[in-house]
Amino acid sequence: MNNIIEVRNLVKQFELTSKLGLQTHCVKAVNGVSFDVPEGETLGLVGESGCGKTTTGKLILRLVKPTSGEIYLEGKDINKISKKEMRRIRKDIQVVFQNPYAALDPKMTVADILSEPLSIHRIVFKYDYDKEVKRLLNLVGLSEKDAKKFPHEFSGGQRQRIGIARAIATRPKFIICDEPVSALDVSVQSQILNLLNDLQKELKVSYLFIAHGLNVIRHMSDKVGVMYLGKIVEIGRVEDIFNNPMHPYTKVLLNSAPIPDPTIIRERQAIKGEVPSPITPPSGCSFHPRCNIAMEICKNKSPELIKINEGHKAACHFCSAE
């Protein structure tokens, strides 16, 4: 199976200066991230707030310039192409934002919002805009009559459907879904997730799905990457991550997720301490101050991602390689 996106050793450093301008700190928001997203599949990225999930998405979109590393779209390194060439292929990489209330221009009608990418990327002829807008609205479960309305006339779930319609307007090959249901009511979340699944099957599009909720990640993903302090600490097929987690952080995350069955009783294992500051990250394994199996080697040596089995890797000194 061909890969739509290949990310290799991606690094993004931010320079932070103190309020008085006396000190400058270097923060590695993304620190050596690598993964592949095959055609028609979904890679889910999960982790605590501030672990680098959204920054990874912005780097792939080239909204933020990476410090180092490679990002390949169908074999082409998009960090080495010109701005003119990037504009031509930007239609192949789209995004669905987290907040549907802030993502849509309140002064534009739905028809204008959906016609804009059609015009910029010359997807269809101008006299076909109305027909294409109606097609997009039908694809996301909205009415043709909604084309003349403004964003404030819709609920949060409907606005997110408009955002999804805008993302698929350019007929992309890859869409980054940055926590697309976290701002929605629980009753609406499943509708949006099912819509994204249906569109993926129909349009053969690939997703990078960023989320906090493990149940959402499990429902949406073919592969899962677990991030902690800018690094992927475990990655594998969804069944490997949820049925055979290897990294201590992954195990604690899964253990802390609620089970929708009141008859099941299990001992909760909370993560001790707080997430360390990315300005002064721990030495060695970044998770060792909070890990219940950490030993001296964890404080002094950073573990590498090692192969557990086919397609399953984890970065822990106590994971056994294949």
Q: What is the pLDDT of residues 189-222, one digit of tens each?
A: 999 999 999 999 999 999 999 998 888 999 999 9
**28 - beta bridge partners?**
13
Average pLDDT over residues 235-259: 90
Determine how β-strand 223-228 pairs with β-strand 42-46: parallel
Output the pLDDT for position 262: 67
* Strand intervals (E) in 50-119: 68-73, 76-77, 93-96
Question: At 190, is the secondary structure helix, strand, or coil?
Answer: helix
For the purposes of burial, counting CB atoms within 10 Å of the CB of 16, is it exposed (0-12), middle (13-18) or buried (19 or more)? Answer: exposed
CA pair distance 41, 258, nearest whole angstrom: 26
Element (H, E) at 206: strand 206-211
Can you tell me which residue has the tokens 């459907």? 161
CA pair distance 74, 33, nearest whole angstrom: 18
Output the pLDDT for position 267: 63
Rg (CA), the chain: 21
Output the pLDDT for position 307: 92
Kindly report, residue by residue over 82-122, the tens digit of the pLDDT. Answer: 888 998 899 999 999 999 999 999 999 999 999 999 999 99
Kindly report, residue by residue over 134-181, the tens digit of the pLDDT. Answer: 999 999 999 999 999 999 999 999 999 999 999 999 999 999 999 999
CA pair distance 274, 312, nearest whole angstrom: 27
For the purposes of burial, counting CB atoms within 10 Å of the CB of 74, is it exposed (0-12), middle (13-18) or buried (19 or more)? Answer: middle
CA pair distance 218, 238, nearest whole angstrom: 6
Query: Could you tell me which of 272, 271, 276 has the C-alpha nearest to residue 230?
Result: 276
Determine how β-strand 68-73 pairs with β-strand 206-211: unpaired
pLDDT band at 287 (very low <50, low <70, confident <90, very high): very high
Say which amino acid occupies 8.
R
User: What domains are there in the chain, each with its CATH number?
Assistant: 3-92+170-259+268-321 (3.40.50.300)
Determine how β-strand 206-211 pairs with β-strand 174-178: parallel
